[in-house]
A = this chain, B = another copy of it.
Amino acid sequence: MYSIGEVSNMFQLTVPTLRYYDQQGLFPNLKRSESGVRSFCQNDLESIRVIEYLKKAGMSLKDIRTFIDWCHEGDGTLVDRQNMFLDKLAVVQAEIAELNRVQDLLKFKAWYYTQAVAENTEARIKHIQPQDMPEEIRKAYENSHAELQCPKVSPR
């Protein structure tokens, strides 16, 4: 069993953050001493690991709490939990695709400014056309600019 201070040191979480998680219902089985001191067992540590991962997957504490509650409700919630992970997987895959486009924009911008810095001015590079870029940069440029929103309304 571990005190809240020890757990705080194990994970990169402050003591108030752990108390906040507890308050939000993320540790439904957390034991306390008679005087009210929290005492974390292996299962509670495992919960923290899961919470960290679900947070990285972009889930809110509220959604994480729902999941933890489902786990305690037993096999009746298996389909809910399955769907939750299938949905989250789709979201994360979309995020990865989006970030890859962002990465391409940043690669293009980094190249653009590297050229500008080398020439000590933005003057020439500012007007460069895709066909004059190196192959790899052109691809990144086109990929990252493909899905840009364009005006859908005409001028007045």
Contacts and interface: CB of A to CB of B under 8 A. Distances in A.
Contact of A106 (B88, B121, B150, B151): B88
Interface stretch (A21-29, A30-38, A96-104, A127-135): A96-104
Contacts of A106: 57, 85, 88-89, 92
Contacts of A151: 2, 10, 45
Contacts of A156: 1-3, 6
Contacts of A149: 10-12, 49, 52
Kindly report how many copies of this chain are found in the complex they form together. Answer: 2
The binding surface of chain A is classed by DSSP as helix
A86 interface: yes
Interface of A: 1-3, 6, 9-12, 45, 49, 52-53, 56-57, 75, 78-79, 81-82, 85-86, 88-89, 92-93, 95-96, 98-100, 102-103, 105-107, 109-110, 113-114, 116-117, 120-123, 144, 148-153, 155-156
23 contacts: A1-B155, A2-B153, A2-B155, A2-B156, A3-B156, A9-B153, A10-B149, A10-B150, A49-B148, A53-B102, A75-B116, A75-B120, A75-B121, A75-B122, A78-B113, A85-B113, A89-B110, A92-B99, A92-B103, A92-B106, A93-B103, A96-B96, A96-B100
